[in-house]
A and B are shown apart, each in its own frame.
Chain A
């Protein structure tokens, strides 16, 4: 029995030989995330008259390999906000654990929920959560140890108005009536802006319209984003709470356009 705790749980040297420490990086600077490894693609979201719709597909890619096809990238916070993660999946899981801890701490402090206020005013709303994440991401970028994500936060603000905001790996934060990360900012955002160019437009949008727009955008993303999947998660956040569906299938796909694509430009052969 080895009485020294630091040797416990390690392969015995007399059986396996001494550990070859040359595998360990023991010189030069400490290295942290320098580039994302397993990644999620776009997250898209749009505000409507009484809440926010947010969606992301269930794929985690390893480069161009579709590695994990059942990864949920929308996470519910305190039954009142939804956080959508794009970028590195391990950093997403770290943040998810962190937010769960935060939610538990918050739940202890919060008053008992009532039917009128399902989320009591003492708890963090989406605007608070977004500010928290912004500070966290900015701190990590200052430490040169970034969390490689672009995050959308959907929910309601202190005045119970729909709230949607983004924060990225450098701590840059902004809001808009509709938001999209990754490929979505090029493919989905123009479509969503047709329906909600301004806050006033978004306030006139119904829940059904908003869900339809988001589903249409998910379809466009699946058509053109090679790192996407036809299985996706979609969440609707309103005053009543969060409705999250994590196993949606893209419907009414039409690949008729595909056979017309031959090479590039106006080739007709």
Chain B
């Protein structure tokens, strides 16, 4: 009798170690000490102009206090016809956990390419921006730990910048800084791009103060702002440095610029 105690008919299914029945916990529920996330540092920045968008990011990749790589780009051209992305019109920047960021980039790129083949035209930034939000939200309960910024030119040819949180909330903005030094760069951008807290000298006191008139910045002004923002961030944040990668998106294509930053 005891010999047949492993018989499924008499005692229930118990003959495979792997198939040991789980009484508690829903099917597939897992609980571990393993932390699937890290922060790889770095910072990104995007500014929209009247007929251009400039995206920028540093090229340092860190984990903890170690520098893993001094040249690891955070900016990616999205949705070109081929792998070299020669005819791409959209740029994605990701910062946070780079393995997630790069997985996100590859998914968005694949989707944009499929759109191009199916419809015979490149995806608009507006459509791409909505799709990116959907991709992020689909992983709402195991998110891509990446702060994404999408840049390009809208249907009217104006610069467009869309910024995201890791679960897909997004918004079109004039400018946005992301990543480790976002809190250092963003106030600088508020002041310099959106002219916040800038008043006409001698225009009065208190409520009589007149704000400085807002105007779109030129490409040269924006490039200078980006360089200054990163030089400032490098000075005060240890996870930012090594190299500055910039992509300038205009109606004639995407120009890539690589500049040195402090390596300390």
A residues sitting closer than 8 Å to B (CB atoms) are: 2, 4, 6-7, 10, 12-14, 17-19, 21, 24-35, 134, 138, 141-142, 144, 146, 166, 170-176, 185-186, 189
Contact with A along B72-107 (1 / 0, CB 8 A): 100000000000000000000000011100110000
Which partner residue on chain B sits nearest A5 by CB separation? Answer: B15
In the complex, what residues of A have CB within 8 A of residue B70's CB?
Answer: 176
Contacting residue for B2 out of A17, A32, A144, CB 8 A: A17
Question: Nearest Cβ distance between residue A225 and chain B, in whole angstroms?
Answer: 16
State in angstroms the CA–CA spacing of A31 and B34 once bound together: 11
Question: Nearest Cβ distance between residue B232 and chain A, in whole angstroms?
Answer: 25
Task: Give the number of residues in B that approach A within 8 Å (Cβ atoms).
Answer: 41
* Contact yes or no, A172 B34, CB < 8 A: no
B203 interfacial contact with A, CB 8 Å: no
> What would 10 A/B residue contacts be, using CB atoms closer than 8 Å?
A2-B3, A7-B6, A7-B15, A24-B20, A26-B23, A28-B24, A30-B30, A174-B98, A185-B68, A189-B66
In the complex, what residues of A have CB within 8 A of residue B16's CB?
Answer: 6
Contacting residue for B32 out of A10, A21, A34, CB 8 A: A34
In the complex, what residues of B have CB within 8 A of residue A30's CB?
Answer: 22, 30
B residues sitting closer than 8 Å to A (CB atoms) are: 2-8, 14-17, 20-25, 29-34, 36-38, 40, 61, 63, 66, 68-72, 97-99, 102-103, 142
State in angstroms the CA–CA spacing of A17 and B69 once bound together: 59
Question: Nearest Cβ distance between residue B250 and chain A, in whole angstroms?
Answer: 30
Interface centre among B31, B32, B66, by most A CB within 10 Å?
B32
State in angstroms the CA–CA spacing of A133 and B16 once bound together: 31
State in angstroms the CA–CA spacing of A2 and B16 once bound together: 17
State in angstroms the CA–CA spacing of A172 and B119 once bound together: 34
* Contact yes or no, A185 B20, CB < 8 A: no
Question: Nearest Cβ distance between residue A205 and chain B, in whole angstroms?
Answer: 17
* Contact yes or no, A12 B7, CB < 8 A: no
In the complex, what residues of B have CB within 8 A of residue A33's CB?
Answer: 34
Question: Nearest Cβ distance between residue B244 and chain A, in whole angstroms?
Answer: 16
* Contact yes or no, B5 A166, CB < 8 A: no
In the complex, what residues of B have CB within 8 A of residue A144's CB?
Answer: 30, 32, 34, 36
State in angstroms the CA–CA spacing of A28 and B21 once bound together: 10
* Contact yes or no, A26 B25, CB < 8 A: no
Contacts A13-B2, A170-B99; is A29 near B31 (CB within 8 Å)? yes
In the complex, what residues of B have CB within 8 A of residue A35's CB?
Answer: 33
* Contact yes or no, A176 B69, CB < 8 A: yes
* Contact yes or no, A13 B6, CB < 8 A: yes
Contacts A29-B31, A166-B68; is A18 near B99 (CB within 8 Å)? no
In the complex, what residues of A have CB within 8 A of residue B20's CB?
Answer: 21, 24-26
* Contact yes or no, A176 B4, CB < 8 A: no
* Contact yes or no, B66 A13, CB < 8 A: no
**Which 8 pairs across A and B sit closest by C-beta, in order of nearness?**
A171-B99, A174-B69, A6-B15, A27-B23, A26-B20, A18-B5, A14-B3, A13-B3
State in angstroms the CA–CA spacing of A173 and B169 once bound together: 27
Contacts A13-B5, A29-B25; is A138 near B99 (CB within 8 Å)? yes
State in angstroms the CA–CA spacing of A175 and B69 once bound together: 6
* Contact yes or no, A173 B99, CB < 8 A: yes
In the complex, what residues of B have CB within 8 A of residue A24's CB?
Answer: 17, 20
Contacts A7-B15, A14-B2, A19-B6; is A172 near B38 (CB within 8 Å)? yes
* Contact yes or no, B4 A13, CB < 8 A: yes
State in angstroms the CA–CA spacing of A213 and B61 once bound together: 24
In the complex, what residues of B have CB within 8 A of residue A31's CB?
Answer: 32
